[in-house]
């Protein structure tokens, strides 16, 4: 065993194992950031497609990291790749908060098929594959970041490969856990996009550090401490709201299943909390849970005559469906 380790890692294989351990820790911490982004990107898909999209994302992560490792020496010279990816992440965060602050009009969902961006992306390949493409692009950006961090530890390509691929395994399980977390606590979507904005800023700041590498702040941004700080901030943005919600009741989290039931109720005309009529005899009318959360003067018994645009406007006004149900809502409105 000792001889095998010596052949792979050299005579100083004990030090090599320590380096691998450090790489696993660093890559796992970086994978938390990657997982938060991937989990947020697949959240608009139906539940049965999220795991599949994440699976493609993990495969893409392996492929891109492998390619980045093969061309690591060349990629390091392309200094503008990281700030470019950072700008894209900053745009994602900005677009989320802009849409969150802007009230939606009732026809927004129904006219999006006519928009040029929709035709060039979702309209051509569908929302699932468009999401997969976006995930793969993020995989490429994070692959560069992870490989650069690994190369900073050692020049031994075997050690770098081992550390990076173990980090990918950690990302696989962390990403699935993040999806479940966001399903249970929809308000964490805001936390996720805050993290995306921070990660984008960190990547974009590699632009000035490229031109002024000898400054103190440039060395701090490129150091391990900055990566560790960002990872801990990522964890804090997610766990602090959860603990606050569980122990102090703020922010409140809604039950996803009840929202889906409310969507169904508008398609059938029967509220989720009311049993279906038997032999034409209607039961006592009762508003669903989402109506009690703030919807007033809403015709819950409108049934099939309730126009799709009115239903869309209803959801937008009364916040019946959280953000991650938008795809489900928009699909059913088009079909209805």
What per-residue confidence (pLDDT) applies to 321? 39
Strands (E), 46-166: none
What per-residue confidence (pLDDT) applies to 241? 87
Return the SS3 of 1. Answer: coil
What per-residue confidence (pLDDT) applies to 99? 82
Average pLDDT of the segment spanning 240-254: 81
DSSP string spanning 22-66? HHHHHHHHHHHHHHHHHHHHTTTS-HHHHHHHHHHHHHHHHHHHH
Summarised one tens digit per residue, pLDDT across range 11-25 is 666 667 776 766 665
Q: Which residues contact 55 (CB under 8 A, 6 or more apart)?
A: none
pLDDT band at 106 (very low <50, low <70, confident <90, very high): very low
Q: Tokens 């399980």 label which residue?
A: 173
Please provide the average confidence, as pLDDT, over all residues in the chain.
66
pLDDT > 60? residue 234: yes
pLDDT > 80? residue 318: no
What per-residue confidence (pLDDT) applies to 131? 82
**22 to 15, 175, 200, 219: CA distances (angstroms):** 11, 21, 25, 20
| Top-confidence residue, 247 or 39 | 247
Nearest Cα residue to 321 out of 281, 266, 262:
262
Quote the CA–CA distance of 204 and 198 in Å, as a whole number.
10
Average pLDDT of the segment spanning 112-128: 60
What per-residue confidence (pLDDT) applies to 149? 63
**284 to 265, 273, 274, 280: CA distances (angstroms):** 15, 11, 8, 13
Is the separation of the CB atoms in 57 and 50 below 8 Å? Answer: no
pLDDT band at 300 (very low <50, low <70, confident <90, very high): very low
């Amino acid at each position: 065993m000792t001889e095998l380790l010596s052949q792979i890692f050299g005579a100083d294989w004990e030090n090599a194992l320590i380096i691998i351990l450090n790489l696993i820790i660093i890559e796992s911490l970086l994978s938390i950031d990657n997982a938060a982004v991937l989990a947020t990107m697949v959240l608009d898909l139906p539940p049965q497609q999220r795991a599949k999209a994440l699976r493609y994302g993990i495969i893409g992560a392996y492929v891109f990291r492998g390619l980045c490792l093969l061309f690591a020496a060349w990629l390091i010279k392309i200094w503008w790749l990281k700030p470019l990816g950072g700008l894209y992440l900053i745009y994602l965060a900005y677009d989320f908060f802009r849409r969150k602050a802007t009230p939606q009009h009732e026809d927004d969902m129904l006219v999006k098929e006519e928009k040029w961006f929709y035709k060039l992306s979702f309209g051509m390949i569908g929302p699932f594959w468009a999401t997969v493409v976006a995930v793969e692009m993020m995989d490429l950006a994070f692959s560069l970041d992870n490989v650069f961090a690994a190369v900073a530890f050692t020049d031994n390509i075997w050690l770098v490969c081992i550390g990076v691929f173990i980090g990918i395994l950690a990302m696989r399980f962390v990403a699935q856990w993040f999806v479940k977390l966001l399903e249970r606590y929809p308000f964490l979507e805001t936390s996720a996009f805050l993290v995306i904005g921070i990660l984008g800023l960190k990547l974009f700041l590699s632009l000035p550090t490229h031109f002024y590498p000898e400054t103190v702040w440039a060395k701090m941004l490129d150091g391990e401490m900055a990566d560790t700080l960002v990872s801990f901030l990522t964890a804090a943005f997610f766990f602090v709201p959860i603990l606050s919600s569980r122990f102090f009741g703020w922010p409140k989290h809604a039950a996803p299943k009840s929202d889906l039931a409310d969507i169904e109720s508008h398609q059938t005309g029967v509220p989720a909390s009311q049993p279906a009529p038997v032999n034409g005899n209607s039961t006592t009318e009762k508003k669903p849970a989402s109506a009690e959360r703030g919807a007033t003067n809403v015709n819950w018994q409108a049934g099939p005559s309730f126009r799709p645009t009115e239903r869309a406007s209803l959801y937008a006004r009364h916040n019946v469906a959280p953000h991650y149900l938008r795809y489900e809502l928009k699909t059913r409105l088009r079909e209805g």
